[in-house]
């Protein structure tokens, strides 16, 4: 018999090693971590709502067991993946724009090498 996973305890467990740092302040890092957790939860809720809508369309009346036992078909899975990718892209668009701006500021590595060779 398998033991049920205690997700609350696992979520609160201290990670091994140092956490990666992407931002300048610990406060910003915590806010990013919290935001990413909320994004994950919203994604789960969207899938659950999609499940409920599909079951209601098919059956009219549903139970909690219907919801818990629902297995999406391949096409539904693909549609959900597209929706989640689009959602994450919208949420992360600001970060992506910042990355694109940085890439535009940096010259190609071949230009940097050529400039260094000329400076010798």
**Residue-range domain boundaries for the chain:** 22-119
Q: What is the pLDDT of residue 113?
A: 87
Residues 6+ apart with CB under 8 A from 52: 62, 67
Q: Is the pTM of this model over 0.75?
A: no
Q: Residue 47: is it exposed, middle or buried by C-beta count within 10 angstroms (0-12/13-18/19+)?
A: middle
CB neighbours (10 Å) of residue 51? 20
Tens digit of each residue's pLDDT (9 = 90 or more) over 11-68: 777 777 776 677 778 888 888 888 989 999 999 999 999 999 999 999 999 999 999 9
Q: What is the pLDDT of residue 103?
A: 72
């Amino acid at each position: 018999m398998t033991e049920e996973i205690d997700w609350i305890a696992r979520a609160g467990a201290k990670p091994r090693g140092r956490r990666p740092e992407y931002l300048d302040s610990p406060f910003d890092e915590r806010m990013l971590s919290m935001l990413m957790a909320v994004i994950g939860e919203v994604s789960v809720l969207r899938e659950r709502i999609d499940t409920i809508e599909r079951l209601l369309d098919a059956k009219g009346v549903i139970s909690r067991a219907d919801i818990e036992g629902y297995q999406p078909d391949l096409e539904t899975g693909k549609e959900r993946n597209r929706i989640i990718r689009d959602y994450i892209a919208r949420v992360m668009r600001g970060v992506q724009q910042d990355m694109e701006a940085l890439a535009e500021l940096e010259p190609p590595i071949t230009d940097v090498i050529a400039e260094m060779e000329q400076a010798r």
